[in-house]
Structure 1
Amino acid sequence: MAHYSASESKREQFRRYLEKSGVLDAFTSVLVSLYEENDKPTNAMDFIKLHLGAAAAEPADAGALRMELSDLQQKCNLLMEENKELKNRLMQYEPPAEERAAE
């Protein structure tokens, strides 16, 4: 009988852990969404994986990182254009390396 109560206590601790961390709410929400689907998906597991991934909380700084990435991509594009323009201007004053080597 002592074995039964010890395992029951562990189960209850684990249940409280899942509840406190929001796992039970996330599962419940996804299962309710699946239940409410008019056209049930052929693969319920894929549906659950997709919706659990979408329900996962995004890190607080993810938005800031996305903005920074966008800014850096724009700067990179501008620098690549400038580099291309400068190379073209340089070609007006210096012959290509192959021509210099032939001389």
Structure 2
Amino acid sequence: MAHYRASDSKREQFRRYLEKGGVMDSLTGVLVSLYEQPEKPSNALDFLKQQLGAAGEETEETQVLRQDLAKLRDQCDVLVEENKELRARLQRFETTPENSTAAE
């Protein structure tokens, strides 16, 4: 009987550990997502791994998306710099003395 209680105590500690770390919520969310899939995947374990981000190697689609993201970030950086330059040029034109006298 004492062995049974020790086992229950360890289980309860482990359960609290999983809850504290957010593991239970993550697993519950992924399982609910699997349940709500209109067409169940052929390999449920792969689905779980993918949803938890533990699929190991990236899929081809993920690699393409990462490359696209890198390109878009570069484009964004270029556009931000261009925007700064254009704002500075606009600021110079708005504050020239010629414009001040013409406005009066």
Please give the TM-score of this superposition, normalised by the length of structure 2: 0.51
Unaligned 5+ runs, structure 1: 55-66, 72-103
Q: Which residue of 2 aligns with 1:45?
A: 45
Moved over 3 A (4+): none
Question: What's the offset of the Cα at 1:35?
Answer: 0.2
Which secondary structure does the structure 1 equivalent of 2:19 belong to? helix
Q: Which residue of 2 aligns with 1:14?
A: 14
Unaligned 5+ runs, structure 2: 55-69, 75-104
CA RMSD of aligned residues (A): 2.4
Q: Distance in 1 between matches of 2:33 and 2:11?
A: 27
Question: What's the offset of the Cα at 1:31?
Answer: 0.2
Q: Distance in 1 between matches of 2:36 and 2:30?
A: 10
Please give the TM-score of this superposition, normalised by the length of structure 1: 0.52
Which secondary structure does the structure 1 equivalent of 2:38 belong to? coil
| Percent of aligned positions that are identical | 70
Q: Distance in 2 between matches of 1:52 and 1:24?
A: 12
Q: Distance in 2 between matches of 1:53 and 1:22?
A: 15
